[in-house]
């Protein structure tokens, strides 16, 4: 029985070492949460900019999708969500999909434009508010899954 535990531990350590070899730099914590803003500013300014982003790219496969909870909205690339914003009671949550760089690079530039307009919460504040963050396992699975097919890309 002790042999099985030792083998499982060795296998786990080998997986960690292999992951570090494939991904030598630890990921920088992604800025996901921002200070809360007024509903009016959120709906008028950020939503309008997202709609304009999609309308400026009519043949690139982007769609604006409005959710009916907390004024949330998403930008999709050929039906797959690549950027979403949600106004919560104490913060604005903004996330890009893990594969946005390959699937829809233009959306990352747009995300940076939106982030520039908002006041970010510190990493510790995000953790204390329970803001979800992609875990290393999610990032590793994305790497192992390979690239995004050409027909699934926008832009």
Q: Is residue 18 part of a domain?
A: no
pLDDT score of 7 = 57
Q: Is residue 25 part of a domain?
A: no
Count of domains observed in the chain: 1
Is the pLDDT at 105 greater than 80? The verdict is yes
CA angle 8, 132, 45 (to 5 degrees): 155
pLDDT, averaged across the chain:
76
Q: Is residue 85 part of a domain?
A: yes
Q: Is residue 13 part of a domain?
A: no
| Coil, helix or strand at residue 155 | coil
Structural domain containing residue 80: 30-152
Task: Taking residues 40-53, report their average pLDDT.
Answer: 85
| Coil, helix or strand at residue 83 | strand
Question: Is this structure's pTM higher than 0.75?
Answer: no
pLDDT score of 54 = 96
Q: Is residue 124 part of a domain?
A: yes
Residue 102 structure tokens: 């390959």
Residue 138 structure tokens: 């999610």
- Band the pLDDT of 146: cuts 50, 70, 90: low
Judge contact between 87 and 80, C-beta under 8 A: no
| Of residues 7 and 57, more confidently modeled | 57
Task: Taking residues 101-115, report their average pLDDT.
Answer: 91
Handedness of CA 149, 150, 154, 155 (dihedral sign): positive
Q: Is residue 93 part of a domain?
A: yes
pLDDT score of 68 = 77
Q: Is residue 80 part of a domain?
A: yes
- Band the pLDDT of 8: cuts 50, 70, 90: low
Q: Is residue 12 part of a domain?
A: no
pLDDT digits (tens, 9 = 90+) for 15-33: 544 544 444 333 343 557 6
pLDDT score of 14 = 52
- Band the pLDDT of 49: cuts 50, 70, 90: very high
Nearest to 123 by CA among 133, 114, 112: 133
Task: Taking residues 68-96, report their average pLDDT.
Answer: 86
| Of residues 101 and 151, more confidently modeled | 101
């Amino acid at each position: 029985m002790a042999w099985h535990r030792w083998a499982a531990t060795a296998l786990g350590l080998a997986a960690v070492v292999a992951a570090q070899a494939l991904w030598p730099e630890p990921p920088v914590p992604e800025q996901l949460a921002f200070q809360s803003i007024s509903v009016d500013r959120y709906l008028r300014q950020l939503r309008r900019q997202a709609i304009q982003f999609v309308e400026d790219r009519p043949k690139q496969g982007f769609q604006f999708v409005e959710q009916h909870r907390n004024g949330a909205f998403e930008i999709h690339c050929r039906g797959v969500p690549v950027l979403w914003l949600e106004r919560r009671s104490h913060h604005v949550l903004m996330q890009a999909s893990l594969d946005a760089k390959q699937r829809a690079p233009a959306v990352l530039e747009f995300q940076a434009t939106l982030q520039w307009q908002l006041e970010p919460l510190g990493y510790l504040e995000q953790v204390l508010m329970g803001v979800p963050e992609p875990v290393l396992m999610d990032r590793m699975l994305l790497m192992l899954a390979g690239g995004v097919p050409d027909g699934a890309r926008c832009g």
